[in-house]
Amino acid sequence: NAGVTQTPKFQVLKTGQSMTLQCAQDMNHNSMYWYRQDPGMGLRLIYYSASEGTTDKGEVPNGYNVSRLNKREFSLRLESAAPSQTSVYFCASISILRIEAFFGQGTRLTVV
Amino acid sequence: AQSVSQHNHHVILSEAASLELGCNYSYGGTVNLFWYVQYPGQHLQLLLKYFSGDPLVKGIKGFEAEFIKSKFSFNLRKPSVQWSDTAEYFCAVNTGGGNKLTFGTGTQLKVEL
């Protein structure tokens, strides 16, 4: 009963490096989301995928790309990391029927 | 576009005090409303949700929230807080059953012994 699994949990990058955050859910949800959480700003939506094969920009998409590999997996890529991308990233999947979001444990990313 | 406002950014209470956290949303149509809690170092968990029906919703751990449509509000309440309620609380709104959840900026609650 894993729910939503994110990897890695912690990461330190140098400015300009790239990396991919992985997310997988085992609840058969169609919709998956990537949020970033910053102090005093709550959770802001980066990208979301309403269903397999579709992705859409959220509130703060600049500097990120996503891939909905299949129904289970939704990855977030930083092509050239910047200090402004230092944040905690959360993946979520949403049950449209219940409109309830299930969150992963988060990835704490620091860009130096 | 939908938006959510949480006006209390930091709240400090003593154990057994009553709690009320404010949440206002801006959207004129049908809304689904949520409160999530994030304990230190953990991910967000659902406290309670409102879809329709009785505007007073009861959630886990003794929390409740009241939907007041005329005030566009969904305030969270607990009659008597415990030290273990120390956490960050987020209000969220979904409009018309669509795909997006929009979160407020959160309220950091600290309960002192």
* Interchain contact A19–B (C-beta under 8 A): no
* Interchain contact A61–B (C-beta under 8 A): no
Mean pLDDT by runs of 10 across the 113 residues of chain B is 86 97 89 92 90 92 95 96 96 77 92 95
Q: Which of A9, A7, A11 is nearest to A109 (CA)?
A: A11
Which tokens sit at A17? 């490096």
Residue A82 has pLDDT above 70, yes or no: yes
Q: Contacts of residue B44 in chain A, CB cutoff 8 Å?
A: 43, 90, 92, 101, 103
**β-pair type (A10-13, A107-111):** parallel
Q: What is the pLDDT of residues A36-47, one digit of tens each?
A: 999 888 899 999
Q: How far is B51 from chain A (nearest CA, A)?
A: 9
Q: How far is A31 from chain B (nearest CA, A)?
A: 7
Q: Is A10 exposed, middle or buried (0-12, 13-18, 19+ CB in 10 A)?
A: exposed
* Interchain contact A47–B (C-beta under 8 A): no
CB contact at 8 A, B85 and B111: yes
Please say whether the dihedral angle defined by the alpha carbons of residues A87, A41, B47 and B109, taken in this order, is positive or negative.
Answer: positive
